């Protein structure tokens, strides 16, 4: 192909892509604008999906972004994504620091997981073991157990409140009954899996000792 013709075609494609993204959003032309981006094959598929989802949700929420360019909307979406990812990373880092600080004081393990019918109600029942690793008496433990698959993807989180006395270097077990929701995919997955198919992570929040001292 003649080099001049090739460059001309490339320029047309780039301009087409830029024109599509630089257009102002309008509910009347939205579908044709998105189709134009797809046909140009210059706007990444993921960006088109982000734009489509964002605009549809905005319209459903009564916040139609009429008059804003697709490029500006895409920049805004990516800013929101980055802020969300940064917040998640920060939360995960803080939780990791808390685990490293509190786990040496207390060991919490999931001993058994069952699906039981009790008085005509269905439950997921968790038997949790608590082991005090200190010489101080504990009166309250607050945290949650995250149940993950073997790829470390969270399936379900179980909130834990232990409001019993746990003596120095002592251990206790307690059962927690959680209503089973047949329509909830997480409950279905937890019910179907053996403990060996789960990765259990204890996320401590607070340990309160009998003398009122708080570890968090």
**Mean confidence (pLDDT) of the chain:** 86
Which residues, including other chains, have CB under 8 Å from residue 181's CB and lie 6 or more apart? Answer: 187
From residue 115, alpha-carbon distances to 33, 112, 153, 189, 192 in Å are 51, 10, 22, 12, 9
pTM score above 0.95: no
Buried b / exposed e over 70-95, threshold 16 CB at 10 Å, is beebbeebeeeeeeeeeeeeeeeeee
- State mean pLDDT over 11-25: 62
- State mean pLDDT over 28-49: 85
> Could you report the per-residue pLDDT of 81-137, keeping only the tens digit for each?
888 887 777 777 777 888 888 999 999 999 999 999 999 999 999 999 999 999 999
Query: Tell me, what's the pLDDT at 7?
Result: 44
Higher-confidence position of 163 and 5: 163
């Amino acid at each position: 192909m003649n080099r001049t013709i090739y460059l001309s075609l490339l320029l047309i494609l780039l301009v087409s892509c830029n024109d599509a993204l630089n257009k102002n959003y309008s509910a009347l032309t939205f579908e044709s604008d998105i189709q134009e981006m797809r046909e140009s094959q210059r706007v990444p598929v993921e960006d088109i999906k982000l734009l489509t989802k964002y605009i549809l949700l905005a319209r459903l929420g009564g916040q139609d972004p009429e008059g804003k360019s697709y490029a500006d909307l895409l920049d805004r979406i990516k800013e929101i994504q980055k802020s969300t990812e940064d917040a998640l990373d920060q939360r995960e880092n803080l939780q990791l620091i808390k685990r490293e600080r509190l786990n040496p004081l207390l060991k919490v393990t999931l001993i058994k997981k069952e699906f039981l019918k009790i008085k005509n109600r269905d439950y997921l029942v968790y038997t949790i073991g608590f082991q005090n690793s200190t010489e101080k008496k504990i009166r309250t433990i607050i945290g949650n157990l995250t149940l993950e698959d073997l790829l470390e993807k969270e399936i379900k989180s179980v909130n834990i409140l232990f409001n019993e006395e746990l003596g120095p270097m002592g251990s206790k077990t307690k059962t927690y009954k959680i209503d089973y929701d047949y329509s909830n995919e997480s409950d279905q997955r937890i019910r179907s899996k053996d403990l060996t198919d789960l990765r259990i992570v204890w996320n401590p929040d607070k340990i309160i000792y009998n003398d009122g001292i708080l570890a968090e």
